[in-house]
Amino acid sequence: MKIIVQRVKSAQVEVDYKLISRIDQGLLIFLGIAKTDTGKEIEWLAKKISELRIFEDDQGKMNRCIKEINGEILLVSQFTLYADCRKGRRPGFDAAALPDKAERMYREFRDTLLNNEIIVKTGIFAADMQVSLINDGPVTIILER
C-alpha cells in the first residue's frame, strides 16, 4: 500500500459537479493498493495515520494527532500511485490491484480508521473524481508498507 497524507484546512470530492464529501481541518488521504498487498498492511497504516503527530500544539510544534484536534479524514482511492513511468511516455499500472480486490481493501482500510474513532468520509470508488483541497503548511507525507 502507498498512501499520500496531506494535512488540510479543508478538502472535498465532487463527481459530475455534485459534492460527494467535504471535510474541514484534518487529513486528505490518497490510498493506493498493490496487487501484492495482503491486508496485513491495513492495521499498521491505519494506526500510524491515527497517531501521526502532524498538527500544531499551542507552541506551534507538530505534537498533536488527528484525534486530538477532532479532525476528519477524507479517504480517496487512487490506483495511479502505482504508476510505472520507467519506460515510454504512458504510465503502466500493472502493479495496482484489480478493482475487486482494491475496493474490498479500501473499504477495510476505511473501517479500520473508523474503529480508531476517527470521522472518515470518502469519495466514490473508481469514479472520475475532482478533488479540491487547501493544504495546511503545506504538510504532505508519504507512507508505504
Crossing angle between the packed helical segments 99-115 and 40-51, to the nearest 10 degrees? 40
pLDDT at 28: 98
Q: What is the mean pLDDT of the chain?
A: 97
Q: What are phi and psi of 105, to 5 degrees?
A: -70, -35
Burial 30-51 (b: 16+ CB within 10 A, else e): bbbbbeebeeebbeebbeebbe
Per-residue pLDDT of 83-127, as tens digits, reads 999 999 999 999 999 999 999 999 999 999 999 999 999 999 999
Report d(CA 61, CA 38) in Å as an integer. 36
pLDDT at 56: 96
pLDDT at 123: 95
Q: Which residues are catalytic?
A: 78-80
Per-residue pLDDT of 4-59, as tens digits, reads 999 999 999 999 999 999 999 999 999 999 999 999 999 999 999 999 999 999 99
pLDDT at 115: 95
Of 65, 73, 83, 96, whose CA–CA distance to 6 is shortest? 73
CATH class of segment(s) 2-144: alpha beta
Burial (Cβ within 10 Å: 0-12, 13-18, ≥19) of residue 27: buried
pLDDT at 73: 98
Q: How confident is the model at residue 131 (pLDDT cuts 50, 70, 90)?
A: very high
pLDDT at 71: 98
